[in-house]
Structure 1
Amino acid sequence: MNPGANLALKKLASQSSVSQWSAGVDIQTDASFANDGILDRSDREYGNHTAEERNPWWQVDLGEPFILNAVRVYNRRTHAERLQRFTILTSLDGEHWDSVYRKGDSSIFGPLGDGSLTVELSAAPLARWVRIRLDGDQPLSLRECEVFGRLPSIDEARHGQARAEVSKAAAAEFDRGRTGYRINVGGFEIFADEERYSPAILGAFGRNDYEGRERDVLKEIIRPNDRILEIGTAVGVVTMTAASAVGAAQVATYEANPMILADARRNFTHNALAGIKAFNAVLMNRTKWGGPDENVDFYVSRDFWSSRMAASIDDEDIVEVVQVPTLCLEEAIAAHQANFLICDIEGGEVDLLLDADLSGLDTILIETHYWAIGKAKTARLLRKLAYDGFDIDLDWSGHHVTLLRRDLSD
């Protein structure tokens, strides 16, 4: 690839913060060290340096809109692991941002070669601003960032502006009719609904530990060819973590709570992952499934993550009972050609999996729930999975999240 001239060179840059390690006294001065054309310095091995914070960012104003072809990020050689996961965002107005690339895997670049990662932008967005956002709780320190592209034709500029207006309207729709705020959880912007989500859930969002264990495991062990079936979508953060690694088309997810599934679908669309297949249904194994016309009661908790089938309307936390259609687990696995199952259904895992035919799967990531079903039933399920040929991978299992794989080997 011959990218051409670096559009970002010595253009006006900014960043989210400065720190004691910053060479510049303010955010513009420090940010300018990441696009001044100097890769190797005599006094330090990085250009800019933000504070340690949630999702820090660096951005550059290209001065006018360009059709962007690629962004090249030069990571620092020490502490390169800080930039394992990041998102590239673009904007025409400096206010509304679109995600054009997300690095969600655990690979590290920086120590070898020239220390760069070149991201080719197949969508060729029209943009004036480019932002690099670290997805996590670390300082962001780059050696350099380069942006490549060309001036748009009249038709391309018109089309790009129209596409930006559509995107801006979709972002406004994301908020419409709800009371709350947007928040970044695990690198994905979701809506925190202050009217419908409990303080416990909002607190988990704010600490960025919502489904944190599952997200961390998935980022490390997921494979590009995995076809993933998830049971228990909730707001879709785990779903999107999987989809960002394998592609939206390779993920199917099932959620019994229709209200929360609607929120998940909006989160998928907002994060450019609308291709995830999402279904409102309770899955049952073939031995228990009553057929396509069967519906069951599902009990919605004020903490949506505690909603479940094994409950009563008299339970203190239950606020609503809804009728939900059922589907066959084995048919869902076959239809999606899934090899990887994610299951987090608040104690329903035993009834679902104990008599299920799981022969098409090679990996299961499951959250178990002693509080809901007890230790004896959970142990019985794990013995069944071992009998079926699944081994517990102790490298990634703990805190009630268990990774099981067939033919576990070194």
Structure 2
Amino acid sequence: MTEILETHGVKIPLNPDVITSKIERAIRKDRYELDEVSGTPKFLEKDDRVIELGAGIGFISSFLGVNLGVENVLCVEADPSLCAFIRNVHELNGLSAAQVRNCVALNDAGSEGPVSFYVREQFWSSSLDGEEPFEKAIEVPGVRLSKMIRDFNANTLIVDIEGGERDLFAPADLSGIDKIFLEIHTRKIKKIGIKQCFDALSQSGFCYDQQVSRGGSVLFRRIPRWQLKQYAG
């Protein structure tokens, strides 16, 4: 019988094919995804519609449902084996409304179609970047983020995509989105990549929220229109 781990009210099956010893230790010590656990309650509302890019093992989406009552979550994950695990985690935690989609989010310059995704032993290191060693390359459907936002009627993005954030927002129609909680992977995208992210989101009308941001986990909020008009004037 599979052992069930629990952290911050979320139950996670101890499947060794997915839950590595490093993740297991973090879960048992309630240290797994601490930035998200401490940050999301500060800005999410129960009726928010959230797209989570890089859903991993389904912990964050389950945490939102179990602890914050956020039911409308679209989990986007490139690794199909993780998608199956996420669905199991959702079922184990009684989440019926959360959705899971196996694809990669593209900016508006990208053509929708198959995208190469590089799977590594530690799932959090899997990415669109094939320069570092990987176990296998798979083809994953590529879908424009702007289309996902429209179809799901989302107002919030949670993004943890191992360097893919560098090119995600330029160009991208983020209409309808008010909050973006972004994990920045400096090792992957370097300082110039951080600048690209901040510049693109600034041009789309977002600003850095210092009250929620912590280290590489950054919250961007949409600037009210009246403030933008005042600035332009």
The TM-score, its normalising length taken from structure 2, stands at 0.90
1:370 is matched with which residue: 186, 190, 199?
Answer: 186
Shift of 1:224: 2.3
1:297 is matched with which residue: 116, 124, 135?
Answer: 116
More helix by share: 2
Cα separation, 2, equivalents of 1:225 and 1:236:
19
Alignment of 1:118-129 (within 5 A): none
Shift of 1:236: 0.9
1:264 is matched with which residue: 72, 79, 86?
Answer: 86
Shift of 1:277: 0.9
Q: Percent of pairs identical after alignment?
A: 29
Q: Unaligned stretches of 5+ in structure 1?
A: 1-171, 176-180
Equivalent residues of 2:42, 2:212 under 8 A apart: no
Cα pair distance change 1:196/1:268, threshold 3 Å: closer
Alignment of 1:33-182 (within 5 A): 175=2, 181-182=3-4
Question: Deviating runs (4+, > 3 A) in structure 1?
Answer: none
Equivalent residues of 1:197, 1:302 under 8 A apart: no
Query: What per-residue deviation string (whole Å, max 9, x for no partner) do you get for residues 3-25 of structure 1?
Result: xxxxxxxxxxxxxxxxxxxxxxx
Equivalent residues of 2:104, 2:141 under 8 A apart: yes
Letter in 1 for 2:115: V
Q: Which residue of 2 aligns with 1:350?
A: 166
Q: Which residue of 2 aligns with 1:339?
A: 155
Letter in 2 for 1:398: R
Query: What per-residue deviation string (whole Å, max 9, x for no partner) do you get for residues 377-396 of structure 1?
Result: 11121122122211111011
Equivalent residues of 2:47, 2:70 under 8 A apart: no
Letter in 1 for 2:33: E
Cα separation, 2, equivalents of 1:380 and 1:351:
8
Query: What per-residue deviation string (whole Å, max 9, x for no partner) do you get for residues 164-210 of structure 1?
Result: xxxxxxxx7xx4xxxxx311122111012224433222222222211
Q: Which residue of 1 aligns with 2:230?
A: none
State whether structure 2 residue 129 is matched by structure 1 residue 310: yes
Letter in 2 for 1:303: Q
Higher-Rg member (1/2): 1
Cα pair distance change 1:226/1:286, threshold 3 Å: same
Shift of 1:241: 2.1
Q: Which residue of 2 aligns with 1:187?
A: 9
State whether structure 2 residue 156 is matched by structure 1 residue 360: no
Cα separation, 2, equivalents of 1:385 and 1:407:
11
Q: Identify which of structures 1 and 2 has the higher relative contact order when contacts are C-alpha pairs closer than 8 Å and 6+ apart.
A: 2
Equivalent residues of 1:284, 1:326 under 8 A apart: yes
The TM-score, its normalising length taken from structure 1, stands at 0.52
Cα pair distance change 1:386/1:240, threshold 3 Å: same
Equivalent residues of 1:201, 1:303 under 8 A apart: no
Output the aligned Cα RMSD.
Answer: 1.8
Cα separation, 1, equivalents of 2:218 and 2:122:
23
Cα pair distance change 1:299/1:270, threshold 3 Å: same
Shift of 1:246: 4.1
